[in-house]
Amino acid sequence: MTRTARAAVCRDWNQPIGVETIQVEPPRRDEVTIRLHACGVCHSDLSAATGVIAFPPPLVLGHEGAGEVVAVGEGVEDFQAGDRVITSFVSMCGTCRYCNAGRPVLCETVNSALTTLPDGTVRTHDGDGNALNVFSGCGVMAEYATLHVNNVVPVTDDVPMDRAALVGCAVMTGVGAVFNTAQLEPGSTAVVFGAGGVGLNVIQGCRIAGARQIVAVDMSEDKLETARQFGATDTVLADDKAPKAVRKLTGGADYAFECVGRGAVAEQAYACLGKGGTVIIVGVAPRDDMTRINTLSLPAQERGIRGSWFGSARPRYDFPRLFGLYAGGQLLLDELVSQRYTIEEAPRAFADMEAGRNARGVILFE
Ligand code: NAD
Ligand code: ZN
């Protein structure tokens, strides 16, 4: 059956985000419909609403959801109604060379479908029957959503839904950037630019991986305070002199993580590195943004620069690992949720994020 859902929708770039009633079609082959319990508010949703991420509107926002399966389509064998799941915003075919290489975030078969389901169509329509795009195969800032079965991952009963949701983007992206992409060695030094929802998870990823020094850089004193709670050993207020301060503290960092989404910050991160150091770019910059680095310093000092998408996730392998770390008390999830909102309050949740008020804001559905 088609379901009616309240959803956060971007109607046009740089217009206020609206909450409207949408129609969600039942699952087709290899799809599931879920009833959302929680959805985190990520800076990438805001970037899509402002056109920094150029997803064409109208667009149902949300890619960090947790909920329960309410209907399964033909061919779905691993899930049934009542199962608890988290969403994964990376569409993967499971058979291409990248999926086979354990790098589904690079899947070349279906990942080009960034605002539809993997087959290029959508299950979402507005009140007038017009199709609505969905954020990265998800669109889960809504009471219901129909997704491809490869975009959901099971979660056990012991993790509350508002915390489980965050694993679907911020936690996987941040901790994965450390574990999977950087493969940070114990005893390393690291600097993290941007201590928001993603950066805080890079910081705790560095702590869990055994970094001996973790410097957080942010423009907000409050964020730096939270960064210490997540494992930062030192903090530096963001300005032009930040790289000099970080070099003084670390003697030149082994790893520098950019979690803001600006070439200028990537350059600062690069300037923090010691010999042999690597910058990991996590922030999503506008399309025309450029980063300038001194070419000779790459070979002469064996420095590196690389990107990390969704923490190089293998969702069904990595999500359970993360929940194990939460159960063991190493991964902080409770502390990440700084504010809870209803779906009607979604516009305020975005305003609060923009104003830097939240570690992570989470929408809770009744
Ligand atoms: P957020 O708004 O929660 O946090 C951003 C933080 O950066 C804030 O604390 C802010 O004060 C700080 N900041 C802003 N300008 C700064 C500067 N010049 N120097 C240092 N700090 C600065 O955002 P978020 O949800 O944590 O997302 C961060 C970035 O990561 C965004 O660009 C988002 O699109 C991106 N992202 C990437 C992936 C991925 O797969 N690579 C996944 C999710 C989000
Ligand atoms: Zn996100």
Question: pLDDT tens-digit profile of 72-82?
Answer: 999 999 999 99
Distance between CA 242 and CA 195 in Å, rounded?
14
Strands (DSSP E) found in the chain: 3-10, 18-24, 31-41, 59-60, 65-72, 84-87, 124-125, 133-134, 144-148, 152-154, 189-193, 213-218, 234-237, 253-258, 273-281, 304-307, 337-341, 360-364
Q: Is 246 in the pocket of ligand 1 (CB under 6 A)?
A: no
Q: Is 61 in the pocket of ligand 1 (CB under 6 A)?
A: no
pLDDT for position 150: 96
Q: Is 220 in the pocket of ligand 1 (CB under 6 A)?
A: yes
Q: Is 270 in the pocket of ligand 1 (CB under 6 A)?
A: no
pTM assigned to the model: 0.97
3-state secondary structure of 59: strand
Which amino acid residue places its CA nearest to atom 37 of ligand 1?
Answer: 283
pLDDT digits (tens, 9 = 90+) for 213-272: 999 999 999 999 999 999 999 999 999 999 999 999 999 999 999 999 999 999 999 999
C-alpha distances (whole Å) from 310 to each of 136, 212, 253, 339 are: 12, 25, 23, 23
Q: Residue 147's closest CA among 22, 7, 31?
A: 31
Query: How many other C-beta atoms can be found within 10 angstroms of the C-beta atom of residue 299?
Result: 8
As a dihedral over the C-alpha atoms of residue 67, residue 68, residue 72, residue 75, rounded to 10 degrees, the angle is 80
Report which ligand 1 atom has the smallest distance to the Cα of 105. Answer: 40
| Cα of 290 from ligand 2 centre, angstroms | 22
Query: Which residues sit opposite 134 in a β-bridge?
Result: 60
Distance between CA 35 and CA 335 in Å, rounded?
25
Ligand nearest to the CA of 242: 1
**What is the distance in angstroms between the CA of the first residue and the CA of the last residue of the chain?**
20
Distance between CA 19 and CA 55 in Å, rounded?
18
Report which ligand 1 atom has the smallest distance to the Cα of 177. Answer: 41
pLDDT for position 112: 65
Which amino acid residue places its CA nearest to atom 15 of ligand 1?
Answer: 260
Distance between CA 180 and CA 173 in Å, rounded?
10
Write out the DSSP string of 65-91: EEEEEEEE-TT--S--TT-EEEE-S--
Q: Residue 136's closest CA among 48, 224, 254, 67?
A: 48
| Cα of 228 from ligand 2 centre, angstroms | 22
| Cα of 195 from ligand 1 centre, angstroms | 7
| Cα of 112 from ligand 1 centre, angstroms | 24
| Cα of 107 from ligand 2 centre, angstroms | 18
Instruction: Report the residue among 91, 201, 218 best suited for mutation to probe ligand 1: largest number of ligand atoms under 8 A from its CB.
Output: 218
pLDDT for position 110: 73
Report which ligand 1 atom has the smallest distance to the Cα of 284. Answer: 32
249 — phi, psi (to 5°)? -70, -40
Distance between CA 280 and CA 16 in Å, rounded?
32
Contact residues for 99 (Cβ-Cβ < 8 A; gap 6+): 92, 93, 107, 109
pLDDT for position 109: 79
C-alpha distances (whole Å) from 177 to each of 255, 283, 286, 298, 320 are: 11, 11, 20, 21, 16
Taking only the tens of pLDDT, the chain with its 366 residues reads 999 999 999 999 999 999 999 999 999 999 999 999 999 999 999 999 999 999 999 999 999 999 999 999 999 999 999 999 999 999 999 999 999 999 999 998 776 678 999 999 999 999 999 999 999 999 999 999 999 999 999 999 989 999 999 999 999 999 999 999 999 999 999 999 999 999 999 999 999 999 999 999 999 999 999 999 999 999 999 999 999 999 999 999 999 999 999 999 999 999 999 999 999 999 999 999 999 999 999 999 999 999 999 999 999 999 999 999 999 999 999 999 999 999 999 999 999 999 999 999 999 997
Distance between CA 266 and CA 89 in Å, rounded?
24
Contact residues for 145 (Cβ-Cβ < 8 A; gap 6+): 5, 24, 33, 34, 36, 60, 62, 65, 67, 87, 124, 134, 138, 139
Domains observed in the chain: 3-159+333-364 (3.90.180.10), 174-308 (3.40.50.720)
